[in-house]
């Protein structure tokens, strides 16, 4: 599997993610944790739905705007079965619930706020990700 390292686009993407987190905090006093934003749509409170929908629409529109600006999206090959993708999605959902947030909430916003809980959560995310790659690439071959 070949991977192309693109530091400039990664840097720009990181700046945009950080900027969006700062703007949401300044405008709404809210953490840009995607699982919390989406979860809030399932238990709506007065005045909370509009900004949550706008944030999710922005997340979905970003790649479409990129494709329009650059003439197309980069190729993506998804090789696992649909059942494996569904199982992975359910496990991610369970993990975000168990961990009280996701990588965007803990890793981007929580670490920026020097939250000890977010430091532990982000460490666990990284260790599990490293172990998953090791098992799937080296232990069971992938």
Residue 12 lies in a domain: yes
Distance (Å) of CA 29 to CA 23, 25, 56, 74, 109: 9, 4, 17, 35, 12
Any domain includes 97? yes
Instruction: Assess if residue 93 is contained within a domain.
Output: yes
CA–CA gap between residue 91 and residue 36 (Å, rounded): 16
pLDDT in tens, 70-108: 888 878 787 888 898 899 888 888 888 888 888 888 888
1 in a structural domain: no
Rounded mean pLDDT, 25-34: 89
**Residue numbers of the domain that contains 127:** 7-139
Nearest-angstrom CA–CA distance, 9 and 47 = 35
- Is 2 contained in some domain? no
**Number of domains observed in the structure of the chain:** 1
């Amino acid at each position: 599997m070949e991977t192309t390292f693109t530091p400039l686009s990664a840097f720009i993407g990181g700046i945009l993610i950080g900027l969006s987190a700062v703007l949401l905090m300044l405008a709404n006093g809210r953490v840009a944790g995607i699982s919390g934003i989406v979860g809030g749509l399932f238990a709506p409170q007065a005045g909370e739905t509009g900004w949550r929908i706008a944030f999710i629409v922005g997340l979905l529109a970003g790649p479409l705007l990129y494709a329009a600006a650059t003439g197309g999206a980069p190729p993506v090959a998804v090789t696992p079965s649909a059942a494996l993708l569904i199982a992975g999605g359910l496990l991610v959902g369970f993990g975000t619930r168990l961990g009280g947030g996701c990588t965007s909430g803990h890793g981007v916003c929580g670490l920026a706020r020097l939250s000890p809980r977010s430091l532990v959560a982000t460490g666990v995310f990284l260790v599990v990700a490293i172990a998953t790659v090791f098992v799937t690439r080296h232990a069971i071959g992938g």
